[in-house]
Chains A and B, each alone.
Chain A
Amino acid sequence: MNVFQYFAENSTQIINLTIQHAQFVFYCVAIGSIISVAIGLVVSTGEPNPNRFSFDWWATGIREGSLLITAAVLTVPSLALFVLFLPITGLGVTTAIIVLTIYTLYTVLRNTVAGLTAVDRSILESARGLGYGRVRRLLTIQLPLAWPVILNGIRVTTLISISIAVVASIVQGPGLGKLLLTGITRIGAANAFPQVLIGTVMCLVVAAVFEIIFAIVQRLTIPRGIRV
């Protein structure tokens, strides 16, 4: 059976799995990004030399610590992390979502911190001089100026997640990985190859859709004065 024939005959199932894959990635990236941006906002105070034991001092410590730990997590192969959660959360969607969400954290956190702390000192200084308090400064100056960098982090993490999500099928997670696993376990069968190929290629289709969405979001949310 050739690939196109297989696609035509199983289009409903393939499209369903593709949508499932996209939703799976979307939820995990959304949850992970909210967590990361929130942490990033709290810990990126922009104080270069905070006093010992002040809020900024603790924040800087937590920032460094969470970056190191989330970075370490990202080096752990996805299969290992999925497997390590099995005894706790069992086979299925829960494990898949928890693990994939954990993988999204580092890139977004790193970009949030980098974006927020890279805001020009003179801009923050003049904001302070004009009477901006800490929260107002963070939300109206730092966040909008860091937004392009944060958004790019979310974009990159989405692309990576699309590919990691495939492995989730090994622990019976949702998405296109199912096609791959069925294909490989029935190697030799007529439609095994089309299944694996289509599963892999559809990941790129999902990525393309997300890229288009990100381009639109970028257009809509990046303030005009800093658009490149």
Chain B
Amino acid sequence: MSETENMIVLEGVEKIYPGSTSPAVERLDMTIPRGEIVMLIGPSGCGKTTTLKMMNRLIEPTSGRILLDGDDVTDVNGDQLRRKIGYVIQQGGLFPHFSIADNIGVVPKMLGWDKNKIRERADELLHLVGLEPSTYRDRYPRQLSGGQQQRVGVARALAADPPVMLMDEPFGAIDPITRDRLQDEFLEIQRTVGKTIAFVTHDLQEAVKLGDRIAVFATGGRLAQYDDPDTVLTHPADDFVSDFVGGGAAVRRLSLLELSRLELHPIETAESAVGNRNGTPVAEVDAQGRPVSWRHLPDRDASGTALVTVPLSGTVYDAVDVMLDGSASLVAVVDDEGLPQGVLHWNDLVAGLKTRERDR
């Protein structure tokens, strides 16, 4: 297999349903690079799901070309094609009359794998998605919770180790707390497997959290913007996108932006501070190295300003909350151990937040 940089390429792909005059998906050019997660988002009826389903030809495009890993798959046998592409839908779509192991083994079995190999693979994948194989292998779907079923759905899609996974609102029907955990686990799994993933969602928060890129679809099947999450949030391509991400309420954007993705100002601690570097705030730390108060602030009296902290895993919204709460115009961002990582100024919010390239 040739190593192409772009795993999925849609060239002028269009879908017009029979009996309809307007396209469900307008002529679409889209490229999904190898190993990236692309989130397809938009209001209902915008063609995001149709686009996803054209990628494995569950829906046949009216015109255009689909390239998978450099090969034109527009006209190959659809069933054969789909066995090479992972597919996860809402609620997992598990087969109720198959045991969990059999559900995971569905595609390997069609591909003619050896029985033992299928069983080993199922166990391996159950491990990967955090379900103990000896407990869950022989159960049936209805004996599992929604979250567990969804995990099995992901495992099933990964079974034959397809380079590409398509996910159609997989976490859509799951309660918010479980969803959050599944999303974290999903990112964890993706770090191990490094698949190329197209993921339909209607949840902007989810799109920003999971996506390397976001494709925003507008009503009428038009791709309005295809960019990384920050650009979509900070530079909406048009009115539609800015409305969709909540352009009017800029505050909402803050809650989508994680502090870990910001370019923060440096911070010094009292021990490490060499002299008085003008412009860099210096904090007093306790025995564990956690900041407790300000020793020096560049432009104001340090003793009059409370030192407030916010975890790096929080969002800008959390930082603002903390600053307002403590009447402080700056906040120290700390990591899991409480060690200072940087500073965010109130003025940054107004001046525009600088984000850095995501490291994956």
Q: Do A and B bind each other?
A: yes
- A interface residues, Cβ below 8 angstroms from B: 51, 122-123, 125-133, 136, 141, 144-145, 223-226
B192-222 contacts to A, CB under 8 A, are none
- Is A130 in contact with B90, judged by CB distance below 8 angstroms? no
Indicate whether B121 reaches chain A with its CB closer than 8 angstroms: no
Cβ proximity bits B314-332 to A, threshold 8 Å, 1 near / 0 not: 0000000000000000000
Report, nearest first, the 3 A-B pairs whose CB atoms are least far apart. Answer: A126-B93, A129-B87, A131-B83
0/1 string, B141-185, CB within 8 A of A gives 1: 110000000000100110000000010000000000000000000
A127→B79 CA distance, assembly (Å): 10
Contact of A130 among B18, B96, B99, B106 (CB under 8 A): B106
B82: chain A residues at CB < 8 Å are 128-131
B140 at the interface (CB under 8 A from A): yes
* B83, A126: Cβ atoms closer than 8 Å: no
Residues of chain B contacted by A131 (CB below 8 angstroms): 79-84, 107, 110
Instruction: Determine the residue in chain B with the shortest Cβ distance to A145.
Output: B97
A125 engages B97 (CB within 8 Å): no
Residues of B within 8 A of A126 (CB): 87-89, 92-94, 153
Question: Chain A residues with Cβ under 8 A from B166's Cβ?
Answer: 129
B50 to chain A, nearest CB (A): 13
Whether a CB of chain A sits under 8 angstroms from the CB of B240 is no
Contact with A along B86-130 (1 / 0, CB 8 A): 011111111111110000001100100000000000000000000
Expressed in whole angstroms, the Cα–Cα distance for A183 and B90 within the complex equals 65
Query: In the assembly, what is the distance between CA of A138 and CA of B98, in Å?
Result: 15
CB distance from B144 to the nearest CB of A (A): 11
- Asked if B93 and A225 make an inter-chain contact with CB atoms under 8 angstroms apart, the answer reads no
Of B82, B92, B107, most A-chain CB atoms within 10 Å: B82
Q: Interface range on chain B: under 10, 10 to 19, 20 to 34, or 35 or more?
A: 20 to 34
Contacts of A129 in B (CB 8 A): 56, 58, 82, 87, 89, 93, 166
- B residues less than 8 Å from A223 (CB atoms): 97
Q: In whole angstroms, what is the CA distance A136 to B83 when docked?
A: 13
- B positions within 8 Å CB-CB of A: 18, 56, 58, 79-84, 87-99, 106-107, 110, 140-142, 153, 156-157, 166
Chain B residues, CB < 8 A from A127:
93, 95
- Closest chain-B Cβ to A227's Cβ sits at a distance in Å of 9
Question: Are A122 and B93 in touch, CB under 8 angstroms?
Answer: yes
Q: Please state if B56 and A122 are interface contacts (CB–CB under 8 Å).
A: no
Q: Which of B92, B95, B110 contacts A141 (CB 8 A)?
A: B95
Contacts of A224 in B (CB 8 A): 97, 140
- Interchain CA distance A132-B156 in the complex, whole Å: 14
In the bound complex, CA of A223 to CA of B140 (Å): 10
Report yes or no: B89 in contact with A130, Cβ–Cβ below 8 A.
Answer: no
With A and B bound together, what is the CA distance between A127 and B106 in angstroms? 9
Q: How far is the CB of A121 from chain B (nearest CB, A)?
A: 9
> Which chain A positions have C-beta within 8 A of B106?
130
Residues of B within 8 A of A133 (CB): 79
Closest CB in chain B relative to A224 CB, distance in Å: 7
Known: A130-B87, A226-B97. 9 other contacts (CB 8 A): A51-B18, A122-B93, A123-B93, A129-B58, A130-B82, A131-B110, A223-B97, A224-B97, A226-B96
Residue of B nearest to A124 (CB): B93
The smallest beta-carbon distance between B91 and chain A, in angstroms, is: 6
A128 proximity list for chain B (CB < 8 A): 58, 82
- Is A144 touching B87 in the complex (CB atoms < 8 A)? no
**B92 vs chain A, min Cβ distance (A):** 7
Chain B contacts for A51, CB-based, 8 A: 18
Q: Give Cα A226–Cα B98 distance, bound, in whole angstroms.
A: 9
Instruction: Report the Cα distance A122→B146, complex, angstroms.
Output: 14
Q: Which residue of A lies closest to B91 (CB)?
A: A122
CB neighbours (8 Å) of A123 from chain B are 93-96
**Measured between alpha carbons, how far is A122 from B94 in the docked complex, in Å?**
9
Partner of A122, one of B84, B90, B97, B110: B90
Cβ B140 vs Cβ A225 within 8 A: yes
Do A225 and B98 touch across chains, with their CB atoms under 8 A apart? yes
- In Å, the complex CA distance between A126 and B92 comes to 8
List residues of chain A with CB within 8 A of the CB of B83: 130-131
Residues of the A chain whose Cβ atoms lie less than 8 Å from the Cβ of B94: 123, 126
Q: Contact partner of B142 among A122, A145, A225, CB < 8 A? A: A225
How far in angstroms is the closest Cβ of chain B from A219?
15
> CA A128 – CA B78 in complex, angstroms?
9
CA distance A130 to B94 in the complex (A): 11
| Complexed CA–CA distance, A52 and B81 (Å) | 26
**Contact (Cβ within 8 A) B107 A225:** no
Interface centre among B56, B81, B95, B107, by most chain A C-beta atoms within 10 angstroms, is B95
- CB pair A144–B89 under 8 Å, yes or no, is no
Q: List 13 A-B contacts (CB under 8 A).
A: A126-B87, A126-B88, A129-B166, A130-B106, A131-B82, A131-B83, A131-B107, A132-B79, A145-B96, A225-B96, A225-B97, A225-B99, A225-B140
Q: Which residues from A are CB-within-8-Å of B84?
A: 131
Pick from B88, B93, B106, B141 the residue with the most CB of A within 10 Å.
B93
